[in-house]
Structure 1
């Protein structure tokens, strides 16, 4: 059955607009995983995504009459950009229906290529339904983002390039899946030309429509679809793509948000480029495959499928990366409510680096702190840290896998503390280096009771701490002299409206 696509792929005429992208050796990733890891850099395309291949190939198959009437598509962004640029190249009018949740960078890029953008619905499926309505109303030719043989063939040229660029031994190729156009094209070509190479489909855990279809032997519609990886946020795999993939892929791997974020960082460290979540999905799957199978010395290829992401999403991605790499443990720890307890706790952590420290006074007996601690990627290290703290008498709850804690609670530890009197609050900056927080606490410990504490290591040159201290009336000058002598940049924020309104 895959052979029916071979001639289509070989005949695909895409290089009027698309480019042959490099197959890069990921040196750092290869060393970390003890395998040869290669990245197929589809972020090098003119629209920073592989989607231009299938879109242009499909347009070249249309009649003059169809092209004259104009084309339409529904897309979360990358297919939209590919079709918009392809249509501009051929002088064809294009309308793109995009979900309202599509990153602005993709919407603006589509408009910049001259296409008309219609924003409708929150998911691809809602946008697709509306696009079909416009097809009937205006007689436009619908260009499906994945479920079309000509689109699949265009995407299949990715595999053609990979096998030409690396004619040597390949153990496995990892392909991101939304509707399945890229994976179907890659799997059809690879399994016909080099059947010994394994092809793995990779999906987000919260949009795993192919996995569900493979398990049930038929296409199913997911009740809910996560949109973090918007480029693959599809509720149902394509009919034609599923027909191809069910007989050609070697398995489906799913990755969660944290694992995708970690893969984005991995790609950055090797290429200095920033993949979008869907673009890093295949590498996240590759890493999971290596971890689960313990393989080494193999040649593994991940398709970096795109780089269209909003700049402001990088803050969230960075926040989740350490957990995705399993390099940060998030713990809720109970310590005694007494001067010096913070310093003792930091000392008990040994040389482990604290990444976050949140606390607000609650009562006179116990202090509950929200703390992030760097650990090594092995799960045993995280468990060892929890056991170590238990052995030293601390009550500890591991919240590393707790979505509520990671998404919300870490930013909400605090509130008014009516039992606290004479509280003054200060904002500090100190050079960020290993042990900096411990040194800061050592100098501060035991002087005045700490009633509030917030610290988060953001990887910047300076550590920033927000501290509340109980300063009895008449001692304000003593505090000022002490802080001046401390040598850190600081600011008294006691009269700050934000503190007074929410914490004071």
Structure 2
């Protein structure tokens, strides 16, 4: 590691002008995560900045350094949102005209936030690189100054003030500092200042698996275009890292690791459970990296734990699109390794659901999708909250004769198939569809199936645990017309609240082979 490079940017960061707009953010304990990984973990709360992200540090420092004649020409920036807000706020405070280019895919919350700060917005391109090209064309025509989000030395120095604050806030040198990496500006600045203060501290960059442009650059020995990136963590979705940020990261970072979308979702939930704040996916990257690195390096983790040397993870932003939270919730249990998605083949006969659920033992079912397909065997899509290793569960199911396919890492299954299990009944038998509600608690689904066990075959079953007070099931039963009254008497005796959905237009359109003449729908009065 070049001590000269670290010392140079430490001096730049010490001279940086950021605190006219930025806050010295707290370094907060994360007791639950610390207990989980076995090392004291501290969260650097950059999500508490006025723009809810760290970017205003570098943006303000850069604009503050501009000479008067350049300020008069205005500034242009390209950003998915957080840098845009930083530039817009800095420009407003310094009286500089700002025009911000944003990808068309930018979450609406970030577009509205930039508008509120008074900047002119131009939406162009579907990713950062296309947007940046449009911004550079503007600069060529207008003579405005381009505020690069991660390759400008004054921007990098401004982000480096985070590392100085970490040094000021810790009594002992941190063992490891985890930094999210997009284009590499914060990683370069923080790595430089941390290494200048604590040369022996490890600095780990963290990228999404589907947007690992810095890792690719370091492996290639130069910035490379990685092509289309995943957009889930849009704040770090960069195809090509900066030349300056690459050179600094290649020299100063000890390692660059990648994490999956599921691991990021789990980290979002972990941060919420610690501090009751919801970071954006890019903002939770460093926490996901700390969890993953601890699992991949048990010996180093144990050594740091023995010395009581803390780790630091930078929570870089909280400009999360509210509509994205559903996806986060859906995937976080998989990211924690607490859930498995399985395709399981069971016999197509009455009571097979109940037998299968009993075989699962103490594992709670989080999702259960099934549709009768008219064959001797049934294929169910099941989500299981694990109380043992996934391999142990699969072995136990195999010993009982079940054919199991692990879908936990299958993106098509997670994104689409779990929502598509269904279709029309392939036989001509008479099917009735009912929606049930029951108090949601451990073992509730098994209890529900135990009560429903009877002479009528289940032809369709859909259940998802939404962490709500009540569980909800849509189920189909093969009920001959002659058994109609006995069947409803049976349902009333179960005590579960139910609604007859057989004649529901949605069910008729997508689940029934043909419209069925039915009596007036019945609704139970059970609570």
- Of 291, 311, 320 in structure 1, the residue corresponding to residue 331 of structure 2 is 320
Matches of 1:470 and 1:7, distance apart in 2: 76
Structure 1, unaligned runs of 5 or more? none
Shift of 1:399: 1.1
Aligned to 1:492: 500
Q: Deviations along 1:80-133, whole A, 9 cap, x unmatched? A: 011111111112221111111111110110001111111111100000000001
Shift of 1:479: 2.4
Aligned to 1:71: 75
Could you say what the CA RMSD is over the residues aligned between the two structures, in angstroms?
1.0
Aligned to 2:469: 461
Shift of 1:490: 1.3
- Preserved contact between residue 266 and residue 333 of structure 2 (Cα < 8 Å): yes
Matches of 2:52 and 2:382, distance apart in 1: 38
Aligned to 1:174: 178
Q: Deviations along 1:239-297, whole A, 9 cap, x unmatched? A: 11111111111011101100000110110110100011100001111111110111131
Aligned to 2:452: 444
Aligned to 2:478: 470
- Preserved contact between residue 57 and residue 151 of structure 1 (Cα < 8 Å): yes
Mapped pair 1:275 → 2:279: yes
User: Which deviates more, 275-284 or 471-480?
Assistant: 471-480
Aligned to 1:375: 386
Matches of 2:138 and 2:505, distance apart in 1: 52
SS at match of 2:481: coil
Shift of 1:204: 0.7
Shift of 1:480: 2.3
Matches of 1:213 and 1:270, distance apart in 2: 34
- Preserved contact between residue 420 and residue 451 of structure 1 (Cα < 8 Å): no
Mapped pair 1:503 → 2:514: no
Mapped pair 1:334 → 2:345: yes
Shift of 1:455: 0.3
Aligned to 1:301: 312
Aligned to 1:387: 395
- Of 41, 52, 58 in structure 1, the residue corresponding to residue 56 of structure 2 is 52
Q: Deviations along 1:444-463, whole A, 9 cap, x unmatched? A: 11231110000010111110
Shift of 1:2: 2.1
Matches of 1:420 and 1:499, distance apart in 2: 16
Matches of 2:312 and 2:11, distance apart in 1: 24
Q: Deviations along 1:338-380, whole A, 9 cap, x unmatched? A: 001100111111111011100000024111100011114x7xx
Matches of 1:304 and 1:61, distance apart in 2: 27
Measured at CA, do residues 420 and 271 of structure 1 come closer, stay the same or move farther in structure 2, by a change above 3 Å?
Answer: farther
Aligned to 1:115: 119
Aligned to 2:203: 199
SS at match of 1:247: helix
Shift of 1:213: 1.1
Matches of 2:479 and 2:374, distance apart in 1: 18
Shift of 1:420: 4.2
Aligned to 1:398: 406
Q: Deviations along 1:184-239, whole A, 9 cap, x unmatched? A: 00111111121011101111111111111111111111022111100000001111
Structure 2, unaligned runs of 5 or more? 513-527
Aligned to 2:426: 418
Count matched residues.
501
User: Which deviates more, 37-46 or 211-220?
Assistant: 211-220
With the length of structure 2 as denominator, give the TM-score of the two structures.
0.94
SS at match of 2:361: coil
Query: What does 1:90-239 align with in structure 2 at a 5 Å threshold?
Result: 90-239=94-243
Matches of 2:310 and 2:455, distance apart in 1: 59
Aligned to 1:3: 7
- Preserved contact between residue 429 and residue 490 of structure 1 (Cα < 8 Å): yes
Matches of 2:10 and 2:61, distance apart in 1: 14
Matches of 2:492 and 2:125, distance apart in 1: 56
Mapped pair 1:61 → 2:61: no
- Of 254, 260, 269 in structure 2, the residue corresponding to residue 250 of structure 1 is 254
- Preserved contact between residue 49 and residue 306 of structure 1 (Cα < 8 Å): yes
- Preserved contact between residue 164 and residue 193 of structure 2 (Cα < 8 Å): yes
Aligned to 2:436: 428
With the length of structure 1 as denominator, give the TM-score of the two structures.
0.98
- Of 83, 86, 97 in structure 1, the residue corresponding to residue 87 of structure 2 is 83
Mapped pair 1:350 → 2:400: no
Shift of 1:418: 3.0
Q: Deviations along 1:144-200, whole A, 9 cap, x unmatched? A: 111000000000000000000013131010000000010100111111121011101
Matches of 1:65 and 1:474, distance apart in 2: 90
SS at match of 1:153: helix
- Preserved contact between residue 420 and residue 470 of structure 1 (Cα < 8 Å): no
Measured at CA, do residues 65 and 328 of structure 1 come closer, stay the same or move farther in structure 2, by a change above 3 Å?
Answer: same
- Preserved contact between residue 374 and residue 426 of structure 2 (Cα < 8 Å): no
Matches of 1:484 and 1:446, distance apart in 2: 14
- Preserved contact between residue 339 and residue 383 of structure 2 (Cα < 8 Å): yes
